[in-house]
Chain A
Amino acid sequence: MQNDECRMMNSILHSSFIIGHLIPMPSASRDIVVLNKLGLHARPAMQFVDVANQFKSDIKVVKFGEEPGEADGKSVMEMIILAATEGTKMQINATGDDANDAIKKLGDLFDSKFGEDE
Chain B
Amino acid sequence: MKLRDFIVADAVVAELKAGDRDAALRELVTSLATAGALPASAVEEVVAALIKREQNGSTGFGKGVAVPHVKHPAVKQMSGTIGRSAGGLDFAALDHQPVYSIVLLLSPENQPQQHLQAMNIVFSNLQKDMFRRFLRQSATQAAILELLDEADQGK
Chain A residues at the B interface, C-beta cutoff of 8 Å: 37-43, 46, 76-78, 80-86
Q: Number of B interface residues, CB 8 Å?
A: 19
Interface residues, chain B, CB within 8 Å of chain A? Answer: 56-57, 59, 61-62, 67, 69, 94, 112-113, 115-117, 119-120, 123-124, 126-127
- Chain B binding surface SS class: helix
Given known contacts A42-B69, A43-B57, A81 and B112 CB-to-CB distance under 8 angstroms: no
Interface of A, helix, strand, loop or mixed by DSSP: loop
Q: Which of A76, A82, A85 contacts B112 (CB 8 A)?
A: A85
The residue of chain B having its C-beta at the shortest distance from the C-beta of A36 within the complex is B112
Return 26 A-B CB contacts under 8 Å, by A number: A37-B112, A39-B112, A39-B113, A39-B116, A41-B112, A41-B115, A41-B116, A42-B119, A76-B94, A77-B61, A77-B62, A77-B126, A77-B127, A78-B127, A80-B120, A80-B123, A81-B120, A81-B123, A81-B124, A81-B127, A82-B120, A83-B116, A83-B117, A85-B112, A85-B116, A86-B112
Q: How far is the CB of B1 from the nearest CB of chain A, in Å? A: 10
B116 near A40 (CB under 8 angstroms)? Answer: yes
Task: Please report the C-alpha to C-alpha distance between residue A80 and residue B62 in the assembled complex, in whole angstroms.
Answer: 14
Within the complex, the shortest CB–CB distance from B113 to chain A, in Å, comes to 5
Shortest C-beta distance, B53 to chain A (Å), equals 9
| Nearest CB in chain B: distance from A87 CB, A | 10
The reply to whether A84 and B116 contact each other, CB–CB distance below 8 Å, is yes
